[in-house]
Amino acid sequence: MTELNFPKLEEKILKFWKENGIFEKSIEQRKKARNFVFYEGPPTVNAEPGLHTAFPRFYKDIICRYKNMQGFKVLRKAGWDTHGLPVELEIEKKLGFKSKRDIEKYGVSRFNQRCRKLTEGVIKDFEKLTERIGFWLDMEKPYITSDPDYIETLWWIIKQIWQKRLLYQDYKVVSYCCRCGTSLSSHEVALGYEKIKEPAIYLKFEILNPKFETKGKSYLLVWTTTPWTLPGNVAIAINPEFTYSEVKIDDEYLILAKERLDVLGRNYELVREFRGKDLVNLRYEPLYPRGPNPLFS
């Protein structure tokens, strides 16, 4: 019995598919079938592909092949994400840059050219991987986010939305990179995610409800590990089932969870206790002066 050489068999099948245009024929044979259109959520082409970039491609291919077996004409278009911090950071590492000023000194146009050259090379690596794993995809006519045609199309779409008055201007708290001098998407924040230890802080929010008026000021004592979100703070979280204590220290009254009284670290006088649900809809003074933000108006 002849032993199967799976790597060789795989190469033979891939070669057969390519030479006979099997992918193209699978679409051509279903001219009159219902379309199932797949525009690939583009991988960021800032570095050579690895296992973490291969796995999503397997899943995408499974879905497309499944819809193909159901009789759909499955149009699959490749896409490459060539924008954003991942690409820029890769070039900054190669050039030894530490700040945005280094880029400006080097020349923005020159820096952009380096970024473009990097993505062009990485796209070729991704194309090889895509063929090697048998992921059927139209890579002859992909969409590339740095293409002028692609960019102009997006601006055209935004213009249509604007003309229909579906866009509005407002305020939003976003992550910001002081080093890069730019706001960050959730994806970009996740790229640098690390488990680290950060000191927690406690803050006092003055209560404005009349029923909490005493001979001294009353405060909610709040704990947070994300103080950078405080300028945009609009609410304080409580658990309606927890027990909260009001204590007096000197001439101030603090409200905090009963189980956290030990954080006070000093003598206090217990005044009364509440259920968390009794504190719902309390109003408090924002930490920062009220500005144009409509959330505080």
pLDDT, one tens digit per residue, over 196-253 is 787 788 999 999 887 776 667 899 999 998 888 888 888 898 999 999 999 999 889 9
Question: What whole-number distance in Å separates Cα of residue 212 and Cα of residue 218?
Answer: 7
**Full domain range(s) for residue 29:** 11-146
Q: For position 81, what pLDDT does the model report?
A: 95
Q: Which residues of the chain have pLDDT under 70?
A: 1, 191-192, 213-215, 290-297
Residue 83: count other Cβ atoms within 10 Å of its Cβ: 17
Q: For position 267, what pLDDT does the model report?
A: 87
Number of domains in the chain: 2
Q: Are 214 and 125 contained in the same domain?
A: no
Give the closest residue to 280 by CA, choosing from 247, 236, 243, 245: 236
- 59: domain CATH number? 3.40.50.620
Q: Are 127 and 221 contained in the same domain?
A: no
Q: Are 110 and 22 contained in the same domain?
A: yes
Q: For position 286, what pLDDT does the model report?
A: 86
Q: For position 296, what pLDDT does the model report?
A: 34
pLDDT digits (tens, 9 = 90+) for 178-195: 888 888 888 778 766 778
Q: Is there a contact between 115 and 179 (Cβ–Cβ < 8 Å)?
A: no
Q: Are 39 and 129 contained in the same domain?
A: yes
